[in-house]
Chains A and B, each alone.
Chain A
C-alpha cells in the first residue's frame, strides 16, 4: 500500500510486519514515536507481540536478550544516551549470538545536551559485534528493518542488527512509503541454541582463555559470512518488492576522479551536490555508505575521496575517514560536518569537494579551521 509516513512510523510499520514475539523498549527523543506506535499496535491487537514497557534502556536490551534466548523474535528501538546506557548488554546480545533487531535513531551525545542527528552514538557501538546499517529515506528505513530480521536470524549470521536513521532529519520527515505484505520473505524464527528444558545447557558460564577466543573468532566468521547473506537478502528483496540498495549506494561513481562518501541523509543529499559539480565539469560521484558493519569492501585506490563524518573519535579522526584510509585506499580528505544536527546543505557538500585538500582534515564551521 502506498502511503506517506515519517521515518519513525515506517520503522514501526516494518516491525509490525515482521511480527516479533517480544518488543521491550524505552522512549527517548527522537525515537519515541517508534515506541509509541508499537505500543499502540500492541494495545489494539494489530501486533500480537508481548510489549514490555521497561524502566530503562539497559533493561530493554536485557529483556530482549532473555526473550531471544527463549526463542522469541525480538525488537527494540533507542537513541543516543539510551544506546549508551544499554552498552554493556549490547555487547552481550552479540556475544550470545542473539538475532535481535534494534532501530537506533541517531542523535548526538551530551553534554552539551543535544537531540539532533549525529552518528557517534552508533559508531560508539562498532566493536560490539552488531551489524550496522544506515538508511537515508523513509522507504529505506522500512525496507531495511524488514531485511534486518532475515539477515540477523539467518543460520550463518545469528548476530543482532542495528538499523540507523538520522534523528529528526529522517525520523521526523514525512515521505512516501510503500508498505508490503512480507509473506515468507522472513522465515519462521528458530534459534538453534534456544533454551530447551528437555535439553538443558549452560548459558553465559565462565569461559576460560583456552576457549574464549574461539567464540570471538566464530563471531567474526559469521560477520564475514553476513556479507553474502546481506547480498542474497537484498537480491531477494529486490526480486520480490522491486527495491534494491546494496552495501553502498553509488551515484556517478564509475568514471569519477573524486568520490564523496557519507552515511545517512547527508549521503542522499550528496547526490544533489554531485549533480551541481558535474555541471561544473568536476568528475565526481557519491557513495552513500549503507552498511557500516560489516564494512564494505571498497577499492578507492587512485581516487580522491572526500569523506563526510557526522561523528568524531577524539584524538584520532572521523570514524568513516579512518576506516576508509585503513581499508579502501584513495587520497582521503576528511570533513567533519553535521555534528549535533549542524546544518549541512548540498551547496556545502559541493564546496567541500571543490576546496578538497587530500590528506587533511577539515572541521566545517570552525574558524581558522586549517587543522
Chain B
C-alpha cells in the first residue's frame, strides 16, 4: 500500500525540508519513499505544497497527490487562502499546527503547537520559527515513520540538538 502525504506551508516555514526529512526517515525505516515539492514562484510567505509518498513497493508515480491519506498544515492561516483538505480521503488525517483543537467534520484531526515549541526552544531563523523538525516528531507519533528514524534524519541534516528536542516535544504534546 502506498501512503500519500501532502504538506501545506508558507515559503520560509520549512515545508519542503520537512517533506525531504520525512522521506529520509521513511528510507531509514527501509521503505520506498519519494519527496517532491511543487515549486512555483516561491517567496517567503507564499503558499507552498510538498508531496511525500511512502510504500513497500517501488514508486512509479510522479504526479501531484490529489487524494492524500494525510494532510499536514504547518500554518493554519493558509486555510483562508487555499483549501488544504481538497481530495483528502474520507476518514483521512489532518495534522495541524495550532494552539487549540479544531473540529473539522469527517476527518481525524490532530493538533500540536509546533510554533510554540520552536519559539520556546528559540529555534528561529530570520524571524521565522522552525517547524520542519518538530513536525517530524508529530508524524512519528502518527506512526508514519519511526521516531528513531526521525532522529537519524534530523541529526544527519542539522547539528543543533534542539531540533531533536523539538521533535520529541511534538511527539509528546500532539493531541490526537
Interface residues of A (CB under 8 A from B): 4, 30, 115, 166, 168-170, 172-176, 265-266, 268-269, 271-272, 343-346
Bound-state Cα–Cα, A210 to B20, Å: 58
Bound-state Cα–Cα, A175 to B20, Å: 10
| Among A172, A266, A269, residue most surrounded by chain B Cβ atoms (within 10 Å) | A172
Which of A169, A170, A174, A266 meets B33, CB within 8 Å? A174
Interface residues of B (CB under 8 A from A): 20, 23-24, 27, 32-39, 59-64, 66
Looking across the interface, which residue of chain A has its beta carbon closest to that of B66?
A345
Bound-state Cα–Cα, A172 to B51, Å: 12
B63:A173 contact, CB within 8 angstroms: no
Bound-state Cα–Cα, A294 to B46, Å: 44
Bound-state Cα–Cα, A265 to B34, Å: 13
Bound-state Cα–Cα, A174 to B60, Å: 13
Looking across the interface, which residue of chain A has its beta carbon closest to that of B23?
A174
Bound-state Cα–Cα, A30 to B36, Å: 13
A272:B60 contact, CB within 8 angstroms: yes
A4:B39 contact, CB within 8 angstroms: no
User: Known contacts A169-B36, A172-B37, A173-B35; is A346 also within 8 Å of B24 by CB?
Assistant: no
A/B interface sample: 14 pairs, CB < 8 A: A4-B23, A4-B27, A168-B37, A169-B62, A172-B39, A174-B33, A174-B36, A175-B33, A175-B34, A265-B62, A269-B62, A343-B64, A345-B66, A346-B61
A170 / chain B contacts, CB cutoff of 8 Å: 62
A269:B60 contact, CB within 8 angstroms: yes
A172 / chain B contacts, CB cutoff of 8 Å: 36-37, 39
User: Known contacts A115-B39, A168-B36; is A173 also within 8 Å of B62 by CB?
Assistant: yes
B63:A346 contact, CB within 8 angstroms: yes
A4:B24 contact, CB within 8 angstroms: yes
A269 / chain B contacts, CB cutoff of 8 Å: 60-63
Bound-state Cα–Cα, A115 to B42, Å: 12
B60:A176 contact, CB within 8 angstroms: no
B39 / chain A contacts, CB cutoff of 8 Å: 30, 115, 168, 172
B34:A174 contact, CB within 8 angstroms: yes
Which of A176, A266, A343 meets B32, CB within 8 Å? A176
Bound-state Cα–Cα, A168 to B59, Å: 16
Bound-state Cα–Cα, A172 to B48, Å: 15
Bound-state Cα–Cα, A170 to B61, Å: 11
B61 / chain A contacts, CB cutoff of 8 Å: 269, 272, 345-346
Looking across the interface, which residue of chain A has its beta carbon closest to that of B39?
A168
